[in-house]
Amino acid sequence: MKAIFKILLWLVGVFIALLLVGFFLPKTSHIERTATIHAKPESVYGLLNNLSSYDKWMPWNQLDPNWKVEYASQTQGTGAWYKWNSSNKQVGNGKLTIDESVPNTKVVTKMEFADFAEPSFGGWEIKPEGENTSLKWYMNSNMGNNPFYRWMGLFMDKMVGAQFDTGLANIKKLADKGELAIKIIQEPTYTIEEITVSKKIIVYVSDSAANEAEIGKKFMQIIPGELGGFLKKSGLKMAGPPMAWYNGPGAPFIFDIGVAVDKQPAATEGRIKVRELVAGKAVVAHFFGPYDLTGKAYTAVGEWIKQHNKTAIGPPYELYIGDPGIEKDAYKVQTDIVFPVK
């Protein structure tokens, strides 16, 4: 009995030691693999930015033929996601979201796993390499405060790295077969014209977002919530679609989002502010496509203004004519990008 008791004490001691050491281990783990893909950056980007293509090469998508997967209505670009359920322990349950995508440069994903409180962020960095593409696949995992998860973090590279190698090899095979030759992502469409803008009263809220995916979440909170409640309480009616002004093109995004109303409010409350949209000339791009591709329309309007000897006055703003929550095809959703000019 004494021998058994000593063994038990020893095991308890080892357990406590591992527990204590675990608290001092790194809270995050990093995995990355690189490969040279025999295809152009835009073709590689088109594959990675399109979730509907992942079954062709993503190793975990191929482990369980009976898994249950659900896709968002949008399967390309920032905000696209799919979630899955599987009885296979190597697959498990989770959700993958494209958190940011920069054409031909990078795709950032957020991965939420059922057994982890904190999401993991990863993705791909895409760089031209002569006639080929250098592709880096990485993942940063937050192991939290659980000491056992932190121990697991030490072995993440060995546990998951081989799957990264397999995924990159699968992409290389697709490229070698010529299956990346066609650019998967569809090009947006837009038309540009000069218009006359009438005077409008705008009620709005100022806010910020760390990335484009968070912008959408903030809009869904502010427009029907804060602004909708204020309009109802103040007896105001919307006199146009939701609109927004941005302080610069990059993250973190600082913006004003509001709506035109039928009359001047008697008073404001909370974060609600009032501004006047001055009447005058403007150049507008009627853009149809995923929001993360609107940069092309901004560039085109800038070139149009120069070619027609116009001068932009004041910041541009966006009008959200289409509702992506109703229209499932992102390429039918209209966003008007307006530049006041003289």
For residue 261, what pLDDT is reported? 96
Say if domain 189-340 classifies as CATH 3.20.80.10: yes
Say what angle helices 156-176 and 147-154 make with each other, to 10 degrees.
50
**% of residues, the chain, pLDDT over 90:** 48
Task: Round to whole Å and give the CA distance between 162 and 174.
Answer: 19
- State the average pLDDT over residues 224-247: 93
Task: Round to whole Å and give the CA distance between 239 and 37.
Answer: 51
Asked whether the predicted pLDDT for residue 22 surpasses 70, the reply is no
Report which of residues 28 and 114 the model is more confident about: 114
Task: Round to whole Å and give the CA distance between 62 and 53.
Answer: 12
pLDDT band at 23 (very low <50, low <70, confident <90, very high): very low
Asked whether the predicted pLDDT for residue 149 surpasses 80, the reply is no
| Integer CA distances (angstroms), 81 to 3, 123, 242, 268, 303, in order | 56, 14, 25, 38, 34
For residue 151, what pLDDT is reported? 42
For residue 331, what pLDDT is reported? 85
The pTM score is: 0.52
Delimiting residues of CATH 3.20.80.10 domain(s) in the chain:
189-340
Delimiting residues of CATH 3.30.530.20 domain(s) in the chain:
22-176
pLDDT band at 248 (very low <50, low <70, confident <90, very high): confident
Architecture of domain 22-176: 2-Layer Sandwich (3.30)
Q: DSSP per residue over 319-337, as a string?
A: EE-S-TTT---GGG-EEEE
pLDDT band at 113 (very low <50, low <70, confident <90, very high): confident
- State the average pLDDT over residues 144-149: 56
For residue 175, what pLDDT is reported? 85
